[in-house]
Amino acid sequence: MYRSRTCGELRIENLNESIVLAGWVQKARKMGGMIFVDLRDRYGVTQLVFNQEVNAELCDKAAKIGREWVIQIKGTVMERSNKNKNIPTGDIEINVAELNVLNAAETPPFTIEEDTDGGDDLRMKYRYLDLRRGNVRANLELRHKMAFETRRYLDEHRFLEVETPVLIGSTPEGARDFVVPSRMNPGQFYALPQSPQTLKQLLMVAGFDRYFQIVKCFRDEDLRADRQPEFTQIDCEMSFIEQEDILQMFEGLTKHLFKVIKGLDLSDFPRMTYADAMKYYGSDKPDIRFEMKFVELKGLTTGKNFAVFDDSEYVGAICAKGCADYTRKQLDALTDFVKRPQIGAKGLVYVKYESDGSLKSSVDKFYSQEDLKLWAERCNAQPGDLILIICGATEKAQKQLSELRLEMGSQLGLRDKTKYCCLWVVDFPLLEEDEELGRFFAKHHPFTSPKPEDISLLDSNPGTVRANAYDLVINGVEVGGGSIRIYDSELQKKMFGVLGFTEEKAQAQFGFLMNAFKYGAPPHGGIAFGLDRLVSIFAGLDSIRDCIAFPKNNSGRDVMLDAPSTIEQEQLDELNLIVK
């Protein structure tokens, strides 16, 4: 061992102890005949002192060391005259008697500090230096702790972690697979799992009863800021349960994590149907840290010759408390916000409920004070409030209003990152219609069970069938989702039919699962959490990238490793492949 102690643990109680420390030089500064060095390791920072008068030779040696050098020192713990209350070791310093340089270091391309001067690209290229920064390391420490506590909770509840294979078969349904050519089976390919969905269902058929796995999954999709080609799921499945059991078990897990990681006792999570979530928040993952629910005004707005509203399927409002004093400029900015192509609203109508009780709107030409009063009443608005209205085709307008609601929540400071509001969204639709293709897709996946009372609608009106499917939403972010599965091979066959699979195609892709169901499948269901997202919420991060040790950029590249890259011709030949 190159040290007897870490740089984070020495206190005033250790006074006069002889110790050995090793770590990186955070900074070194000269003051008169003294040199002060901040020595850093994973556990903290400790101040070292070299004194010219006591040992000139040693002091000269210390004068040569630079930032990020790796050194080992032997010395004695002394009380500081100038205490630093900001760090746990701030009461002491080390009077150094011996200095060994373990490794010199070139000057790093950016500063190793929480507030670094390094840009994104540079930090990713030198990720091993970026990871030295305390805040980045803290994210990964948090990730370790969350994964460990997840395992502890699930182990206590008799879940077994079972590793499922990474080299599996390709399923063209859903997102695009990454594939792996097989040298031993020329012309054939493995696929990397998008999730262990079918395998965990097979484990239920196998009687494993309670399964989980913290597991890498893969999707070859065009990447957005917050997506990675490889990501990690907390994947879970249970047998002989109903939806309520899953919600209870995993609400318990979530509460456990908040308790042990953040010391928070969360109360029971509210539940909301998908239908209500769309109606009141225009989103299947509402941020319920603040109210500002949608209010439908269609009935109150028609027949007053305002064609824009009259021709709209939907007219919806939100009420922004205390915003009646918004300036022209602020209102224009909001209009610009909803008209951005990503949101796509045609415009924004406002009604200011002035403090004197009068109502002032951008549609005064068409609506009287009495009309506006009725709107305000329905919106539960008070003098001083601002009503914001969007109209259009229902689904689109609700989505636009949802973006506006979130923006207003941010502007009003209602989206505090240290406040956590968890929500179960339930009763998702089973199917989603692709109007262009004229066919239905599984909203969740083809194994999701319809609600028993809706099964009869599968033939007559598939779009209205609700599923036993649920999402866990925290602060407007979907962190987990799952469903009760179909466990009857006849119903599964019917489901594939509704999804437009021929029997041959269903057999070719999922035959192993349907066959398995013939040998005694138990009722089962499960859930999967996105670990990256869950950690990023706990860490208060805007991107999942900062809680991943070695993330890829938006082109799927690891710029540190310079991967992917070309491979040697010999490798291609062995795989029987030609690059076009």
Return the residues of window 520-559 that contact a copy of itself according to CB under 8 A. Answer: 520-523, 548-550, 552, 555-558
Q: Considering only residues 181-220, where is the footprint of a copy of itself by CB under 8 A? A: 181-192, 199, 202-203, 205-210, 216, 218, 220
* 202 or 297: CB nearest a copy of itself: 202
Cβ atoms within 10 Å of 165's Cβ, excluding its own: 11
| 74 and 96 Cβ atoms separated by less than 8 Å | yes
Three-class DSSP category at 60: helix
Tokens encoding 280? 């009141």
232: exposed, middle or buried (C-beta count within 10 Å: 0-12, 13-18, 19+)?
buried
Kindly write out the interface string for residues 32-51 of this chain, putting x where it contacts a copy of itself by CB under 8 A and - elsewhere. Answer: --------xxxx--------
| 240 and 523 Cβ atoms separated by less than 8 Å | yes
Distances in whole angstroms, Cα of residue 208 to Cα of each of 196, 234, 522: 15, 17, 10
Which residue of 18, 380, 543, 571 would you call a contact of a copy of itself, by CB under 8 A?
A: 571
* 457 or 572: CB nearest a copy of itself: 572
Which residue of 170, 302, 335, 507 would you call a contact of a copy of itself, by CB under 8 A?
A: 170
| 269 backbone dihedrals φ, ψ, rounded to 5° | -80, 130
Q: Considering only residues 84-103, where is the footprint of a copy of itself by CB under 8 A? A: 102-103
* 473 or 516: CB nearest a copy of itself: 516
CB of 60 to a copy of itself, least distance (A): 21
Kindly write out the interface string for residues 234-273 of this chain, putting x where it contacts a copy of itself by CB under 8 A and - elsewhere. Answer: ------xxx--x----------------------------
**Helices 328-339 & 394-411 angle (0-180, nearest 10):** 140
Amino acid occupying residue 59 = C
Three-class DSSP category at 388: strand
CB of 14 to a copy of itself, least distance (A): 19
Sole window of 281-289, 307-315, 356-364, 567-575 interacting with a copy of itself (rule: CB under 8 A):
567-575
* 191 or 295: CB nearest a copy of itself: 191
Q: Considering only residues 476-505, where is the footprint of a copy of itself by CB under 8 A? A: 487-488
Kindly write out the interface string for residues 127-166 of this chain, putting x where it contacts a copy of itself by CB under 8 A and - elsewhere. Answer: xxxxxx----x--xx-xx--xx--x---x----xxxxxxx
* 191 or 458: CB nearest a copy of itself: 191
* 51 or 507: CB nearest a copy of itself: 507
CA torsion angle for 40, 41, 43, 45 (degrees, to 10)? -10
Q: Could you say whether residue 56 binds a copy of itself (CB under 8 A)?
A: no
Q: Find, among 392, 388, 289, the residue nearest to 330 by Cα.
A: 388
DSSP string over 435-481: TTTTEEEESS-TTBPBPGGGTTHHHH-GGG-BBSEEEEEETTEEEEE
* 193 or 481: CB nearest a copy of itself: 193
Q: Could you say whether residue 117 binds a copy of itself (CB under 8 A)?
A: no
Q: Could you say whether residue 575 binds a copy of itself (CB under 8 A)?
A: yes
* Number of chain positions touching a copy of itself (CB under 8 A): 122
Amino acid occupying residue 350 = Y
Sole window of 122-130, 341-349, 352-360, 472-480 interacting with a copy of itself (rule: CB under 8 A):
122-130
Q: Considering only residues 331-370, where is the footprint of a copy of itself by CB under 8 A? A: none
Q: Find, among 284, 287, 546, the residue nearest to 410 by Cα.
A: 287
Q: How far apart are CA 49 and CA 178, in angstroms?
A: 55
DSSP H/E element including 274: helix 274-281
* 342 or 565: CB nearest a copy of itself: 565
Cβ atoms within 10 Å of 405's Cβ, excluding its own: 28
* 133 or 285: CB nearest a copy of itself: 133
CB of 369 to a copy of itself, least distance (A): 58
Which residue of 229, 383, 384, 497 would you call a contact of a copy of itself, by CB under 8 A?
A: 229
Q: How far apart are CA 138 and CA 3, in angstroms?
A: 23
Measure the CA angle with vertex 159, ends 156 and 161; round to 5°: 115
* 179 or 393: CB nearest a copy of itself: 179
